[in-house]
Amino acid sequence: MTKEIKKFECPYCGETLGSQDDLKGHVFKTHKGRGLPTPEGRIKLTVNKAEFTFQVEPNWTLYYLIHDKIGLTGAKQFCDRGACGSCTMIVDGKPVLSCMMLAIECDGKNVETVEGIASDGHPLIESYVKNHAMQCGYCTPGFVVASKALLDGNTDPTEEEIMEALSGNLCRCSTYPQHPIAVKEAAAKLRAAK
Amino acid sequence: MNKHPEDQSARMLETFDNLVADKYPAKEFKYVGQKVPRRIDGLAKASGQAEYTMDVQLPGMLYMRLLMSPYAHAKILKMDTSRAEKLPGVRYILRWDDPEVMKSEIIGKTAGFFGIDRALGGAAHMEGELVGAAIAADTEQIAEEALSLLDIEWEERPFMLDPVAASEPGTPLTFPERYIDGNHWNRGAYDELLHGDMKKGFAEADKVVEFTIKRTANTWVGPERPCGVWKWNGDYAEVWLKHQRVHLSKSRISEWFGGIPMSKIEVHSPYQGASFGGWSQIDWNLGPLYCAALVSKRTGRPVKYVFTRREDFFGGSMDEGTYQVKVGFKNDGTITAVEAVLYHVNAIWPVFSPVLHLHDNTRIKNLRGQCKCVWVNKGHTVPTRCEMLPPVLTFTLVMDRVAAELGMDPMEVAFKNDGAMGHDMEWLNNEKKQRGFPVRDSLKECIDIGKAEFKWDESWHKPGARKLPTGRLHGVGFTWTHEWEDSSGGSEFAIRVERTDGTLSLLAQGADNGVDAEGAYCQIAADELGFRLEDVNYNPHQYRGFYRMTPDSSTNMSVNGWSVRHASRILKNQILEYASNPSSASQRGSFQPAFPDTKPEDLDIKDSVIFLKSDPTRRMSIADFVRLAGESGPFSTDEFLGTRVGWSEPLFALGYHTQYGAYNPANPRPRFCRQAHFMEIEVDTETGEIFVTRVVNVNDVGKVINRMSCEGQQYGGSIMGVSRAKYEEVVHDPVTGVILNGNLLDYKISTIKDMGPINTQLVETGMGYGPYGLIGIGEDIATVVPGLLAPAVYNAIGKWIYDFPITPSRVLKALGKE
Amino acid sequence: MKEFKHFNAYTTDEAVALLGRYGDRACVIAGGTDLLGKMKDAILPAYPEALVNIKTIPGLSYIKESDGMLAIGALTLLSDIAQSSLIRSRYFALAEAAARTASPHIRNMGTIAGNLCQDIRCWYYRNQNNRFSCLRKKGGRCYAIKGDNRYHSIFGGSVSGGCFAVHPSDAAPALIAMDAKIKTSSRTIDVADFFEVKPIKTTVLKPDEIVTEIQVPAPSANTKSYFLKFALRKSIDFPIVNCAVRVTFEGEKVSNARICLNAVHVVPYRAVEAEKAVIGKKINEAVAEEAGKAAVAAAKPLEHNKYMVAVARTLVKRALLACAGS
């Protein structure tokens, strides 16, 4: 049952080498024309439809990668402990907390941030602006992303469904009453556009 | 200049009496009072492009973190940094006993934390205080790890958490450094308000009741934590700062390092993730900034410091304390005397008496309020939306207790006592008349609207008398007070007509924290000048050098509104002057005027178009007006190889205004405007849970400018208020003084699901001291609503709960069901 | 967070092997919503040297019912359980518990097994930088006893150690009420036997053992289940008290009852006395009330958590009444 984990094992022939460099040399020599095995921490990520390849440290959260390294600063850190929703991003279609996800575990994933949603011209943006669904604005990107995820799967949400979808997003300025109004407006626009 | 009778520019130069009604209000409004979208900041915020100080990253930047004290009261005896220094990526460790840190005594001059006037102290007086060391490293994570590698010898000292206990003689000193000349038994500032004759007042009463209120620590929970960036450009300081008072920050910074000229300091004030007053009222945030400046100087790299969420629990709201209240009243609901003593925790300001609101807007003649500030080993308390919490809480509980004792409708009690400064409504109405205000009964108007919207008559009942089919007990509550805004100070605002396209730029320093005051200023300017709103803009997060009163949410709309208006009127005069007679302003030559053979008073502007009043077909858009190019126009923007420079006449005006505060002892402001709030709850008597099902807010703001922003302050304030009343408290371990819930899971603020609908109503009586008769709103609702939960609970269960927050545990205890 | 090694496990064997190699110096990471919080706050005396990611093991996320058993893969998301029409209709308490857990975001990340394996919630244990090195961290004592214990156990401390921290899972009592079993990489045990109270340990899992499947026996006919959660806020919050109930009726009378409270004791608390109080009876207000009282008869509240007794009593009563259809 206990299988020895071989770190520098050649994926083509199974031979074990002593180091990454030795492994590189082996693959180059023995398996000419084949790609090198991916080093640890190498991830491919699609962010707002753009493809990236990153070398990440294990202790980087997805938030840190997107916010600090790529520089998409829309997502915010309000609590940094998974209790506020301000860091919300859509990963593989689901709204999640990027501050509680490790970047190294996001290989091959598809990430949508508020910037992508805005640049796609999603009607949520306009309806948020029109309805003053923000005050200081710090939590707003998290709400926009969570709302967008809701509308992706529900074209005509009720007020209750909207509140449920946004129930993990905290707003200290307490703009809450405006969000169902804005989301419903955006939903209507999306339906009309079809 | 003073050609027009409504000309305000002359007024600016007069000795200004700002305790009278607006003598020259505008007659028509197109944008003021309307619902307009968030034109200034909305798109940036919704699309994630708005930049906050937390988002700032500069090339080569270092990240700085400070050490948190694990003890409620302790001094650092020894600190060994060798292990921390060895951690790869650590670039500088600044110690509290560094000579330049030791001499930073100018930090905190006006409102220093606990009186320690230094950027980084060597002793902690609360758990979690940032003391001892500031570590700068390549990443935040490395800085954090380095902190854990500091080897520190602490001398633990005894600590106190309760203000009443801490003020007793013989208790350990919570802050010995403060009392170097001997013991004051932890007592800080003292404030007393005394009017009338207390003995007489209580003697006149038919009944006297006493009760004690306890409000535990609660805090602002600003979404963006304190942070800042310092960069030296040679000897120029460039700073990014999350701070509501940009001017305060800049003036402090100018005193550092032997003095930096104000003109060599650039302060960026990006969008701010809300402070609600909080720590922006004090210089706390500037201590770490000073450290960042030092480290930046010594490393040659920009330095950013960031507080963690835990570290943002370093202080709280100025309502924490124990209130002992005694009230005497007649059987008809007239209150004859109120006496209150507030043991106030760690208040950093000259404190406000707990009977202040009872003084400001009632006819009660005998009032005594004592505010005894006591220092305990917790964070300082500061105005947090807002400093009126203690007097408002006392006001609500006094008024509603009297009503309950007499079985009277609380609104009847309100009318019986409405007035100001011990005078009745006749006196107050006379004041309105004397000062040129409309004579309206603001309280009655607010109550009439609120009662109808809330359906009070069908909802109100005897305490404990209505059980719902679900088994829950139904309750309703009402409270009122004056609508306040206490802006006191000066403000300057500049407006420029852009040369190329004739749009307006409003220029003033910015410190946006979300109230869309900037939108309101644009509305005022647009209406005063006759421009289309889309042609008026204000870049809100750059420091333009024109001092504007911040934070706007502390109801500085009055002062800033006036200066925008003054600038607008001067500028309008200027435009019309130059449209009819440019050579009156020109430097060389004479030019064909845009409107020949006219006088400025013949012209007007509407929808960004200048036109002749008597023949509107003679018209020219502002855009065309400023584009009169070449030598034929006075506003030419032509430059051609520097040899032939076009004429340049700036269309620019500066307005300024000074407003006396409400508490100017020589001439206090009588309070004319009122607000009223209604709350409906259900109480689950088996679990103690309270459900707030409905709230109605009615605020007489005198004149609405930015309608949606006003409403935002109402529902936003209601939700924050309910959250404060139901859940919010900073919990300290009684044995060690350690904060147990310094995170957003255990310190609870409302989610979207936690409250029923809020009905917001705005009244406009025009009886405010601001332009057009406006008065502020930002602080009011969040301050008034918390106390309202208590009378609602009383109406539901027939028991008074005076301990806030009103948790299920306290409800069950009151019901005897624990 | 400090540095650590990270491994993606691609098979259960691989995960077990990695964990075996590291012993208690490695942690399993599934949803990560509990673990990363602990690491960010550095609450434990020792920081994990390595994380073993089991999300990369295929085939551990499923919901299927066959042969009289509902099988749920360990990595099944709470949101999938909450929205599963199968679980909603036949295992209601479990769906409801999952739906009431935390926030929508966390339900999209958190797994059912992770929810069961999550660490205790005690604000002394969880204070950052291991500020309180308590019993559960091999330290000297429990700080809640003399401290602020408003959310701590109302049924006394753990037998062996005297810890008063509560288990915070919403799903656990629902699964216990349904007589579920937990299948791991090495054995299958009753959910009720899954929890224990040891230093830095809340389950009986060995360092190199992971959960692979939750098994819930299909309910017999005329069985209803219910779940109630009491918390200060309507979302995000951990339970202060929760209660899961499963009742089987013969005619109008109760033939079988399972009542499980959680967040009231160091492990989920099966209210056996309350179960006895309803057997053979028709559930009405009075019977449910008696059951509620019986459920908390053994309560030994601390100084600040007496209210939890009243709440627990109430939730038992209401959950039973809900099963009875009122």
Taking the CB of residue B511, how many other CB atoms lie within 10 A of it?
Answer: 29
For residues B702 and C326, give the distance between their C-alpha atoms in angstroms, rounded to a whole number: 52
| Cα nearest neighbour of C306 on chain B | B818
Residues of B in contact with A147 (CB under 8 A): none
Chains with at least 3 CB pairs less than 8 angstroms from chain B: A, C
**Between chains, do C311 and B808 touch, taking CB under 8 Å as contact?**
yes
A123-143 as b/e: b if 16+ CB within 10 A: bbbbbbbbbbbbbbbbbbbbb
Return the closest-CA partner of residue C260 out of C242, C248, C276, C247: C242
Return the closest-CA partner of residue A76 out of B273, B179, B693: B273
Q: Both tokens of residue A148?
A: 């967008």
Question: Which phi and psi (to 5°) does residue C207 adopt?
Answer: -55, -30
Question: Is residue C157 a contact partner of residue C258, using CB atoms and an 8 Å limit?
Answer: no
pLDDT level of residue B284 (50, 70, 90 thresholds): low
Cis peptide bond prior to B386, omega within 30° of 0: yes
- Is the pLDDT confidence value at B101 over 50? yes
Give the model confidence (pLDDT) of C170-191 as tens digits: 999 999 999 999 999 999 999 9
**Domain residue spans of chain A:** 1-37, 74-102+111-194
Percentage of residues in chain B having pLDDT higher than 90: 69
Give the model confidence (pLDDT) of A72-123 as tens digits: 999 999 999 999 999 999 999 999 999 999 999 999 999 999 999 999 999 9
Optimal mutation site among A86, A167, A170, interface C, most CBs of chain C within 10 A: A167
Residues of C in contact with A58 (CB under 8 A): 3-6, 51
For residues A87 and A77, give the distance between their C-alpha atoms in angstroms, rounded to a whole number: 6
Q: What residue spans of B595-700 are helical by DSSP H?
A: 622-626
Number of helical H runs and strand E runs in chain C: 11, 14
Nearest-10 crossing angle of helices B517-529, B707-726: 160
Q: Both tokens of residue B255?
A: 């005193």
**Domain residue spans of chain B:** 9-30+488-659, 53-157+220-312, 436-486+668-818
Architecture label for domain A74-102+111-194:
Orthogonal Bundle (1.10)
Q: Mean pLDDT of all residues in chain B? A: 89
Taking the CB of residue C117, how many other CB atoms lie within 10 A of it?
Answer: 23
| Cα nearest neighbour of A94 on chain C | C108
Q: Both tokens of residue A114?
A: 């508020």
Strands in B536-537's sheet, in edge-to-edge order, are B536-537, B504-507, B489-497, B652-659
**Of A94-103, B690-699, C16-25, C267-276, the least confident:** C16-25
pLDDT level of residue B92 (50, 70, 90 thresholds): very high
Give the model confidence (pLDDT) of C34-49 as tens digits: 999 999 999 998 999 9
Give the model confidence (pLDDT) of B172-214 as tens digits: 888 887 765 555 667 777 888 899 999 999 999 999 999 999 9
Residues of A in contact with B756 (CB under 8 A): none
- Our CA-based measurement puts residue B569 at a distance from the nearest CA of chain C, in whole angstroms, of 51
Given this model, what pLDDT does residue C134 score? 94
**Between chains, do A83 and B745 touch, taking CB under 8 Å as contact?**
yes
pLDDT level of residue B14 (50, 70, 90 thresholds): very low
- Is the pLDDT confidence value at B13 over 60? no
- pLDDT by position in tens, chain A (length 194): 334 455 677 777 878 888 878 887 888 788 876 666 567 899 999 999 999 999 999 999 999 999 999 999 999 999 999 999 999 999 999 999 999 999 999 999 999 999 999 999 999 999 999 999 999 999 999 999 999 999 999 999 999 999 999 999 999 999 999 999 999 999 999 999 98
Chains with at least 3 CB pairs less than 8 angstroms from chain C: A, B
For residues A98 and A154, give the distance between their C-alpha atoms in angstroms, rounded to a whole number: 23
Percentage of residues in chain B having pLDDT higher than 70: 89
For residues B274 and B283, give the distance between their C-alpha atoms in angstroms, rounded to a whole number: 17
Report how far apart, in Å, the C-alpha atoms of C61 and of each of C71, C73, C76, C77, C212 are.
Answer: 10, 5, 4, 8, 9
Question: What are the beta bridge partners of residue C64?
Answer: C71
For residues B303 and B140, give the distance between their C-alpha atoms in angstroms, rounded to a whole number: 11
Q: Which CATH class is domain B9-30+488-659?
A: alpha beta
Given this model, what pLDDT does residue B630 score? 44
SS3 for C108?
coil
Question: Is residue B502 a contact partner of residue B530, using CB atoms and an 8 Å limit?
Answer: no
A92 interface with C at CB cutoff 8 Å: no
Partner residue opposite C148 with nearest CB, options B688, B740, B818: B740
Please state which CATH number belongs to domain B436-486+668-818.
Answer: 3.30.365.10
**Of B7-21, B133-147, B603-617, C255-269, the least confident:** B7-21
**Of B12-16, B247-251, B724-728, C211-215, the least confident:** B12-16
Give the residue numbers in B contacting C (CB under 8 Å), as ranges. 70, 141, 145, 148, 310, 686-689, 726-727, 731-735, 738, 740-741, 745-746, 748, 750-754, 807-809, 812-813, 817-818
For residues C240 and C244, give the distance between their C-alpha atoms in angstroms, rounded to a whole number: 14
End-to-end CA distance of chain A: give it in Å, rounded: 55
Given this model, what pLDDT does residue B15 score? 42
For residues B281 and C156, give the distance between their C-alpha atoms in angstroms, rounded to a whole number: 46
Q: What is the DSSP letter of C24?
A: G
* Full-model pTM: 0.95
For residues C273 and C298, give the distance between their C-alpha atoms in angstroms, rounded to a whole number: 9
pLDDT average, residue stretch B717-746: 97
Question: Is residue B239 a contact partner of residue B256, using CB atoms and an 8 Å limit?
Answer: no
Question: Is residue B432 a contact partner of residue B661, using CB atoms and an 8 Å limit?
Answer: no
Residues of C in contact with A88 (CB under 8 A): 105
**Between chains, do B734 and C146 touch, taking CB under 8 Å as contact?**
yes
Q: Do domains B9-30+488-659 and B436-486+668-818 have the same CATH topology?
A: yes
Q: Judged by CB atoms within 8 Å, which residues 94-123 of A form the interface with C?
A: 94-97, 100-102, 104-105
CATH 3.20.20.80 fits B53-157+220-312, yes or no: no
Partner residue opposite C148 with nearest CB, options B726, B733, B745: B733
Partner residue opposite A135 with nearest CB, options B55, B514, B745: B514
Question: What are the beta bridge partners of residue A89?
Answer: A96
Report how far apart, in Å, the C-alpha atoms of B405 and of each of B373, B461, B467, B538, B800 are.
Answer: 31, 14, 22, 53, 11
Given this model, what pLDDT does residue B1 score? 38
B407: left (phi over 0), alpha (psi -120 to 50) or beta: left
- Is the pLDDT confidence value at C225 over 80? yes
Question: Is residue B286 a contact partner of residue B551, using CB atoms and an 8 Å limit?
Answer: no
**Of B252-256, B278-282, C89-93, C215-219, the least confident:** B278-282
| Cα nearest neighbour of A182 on chain B | B46
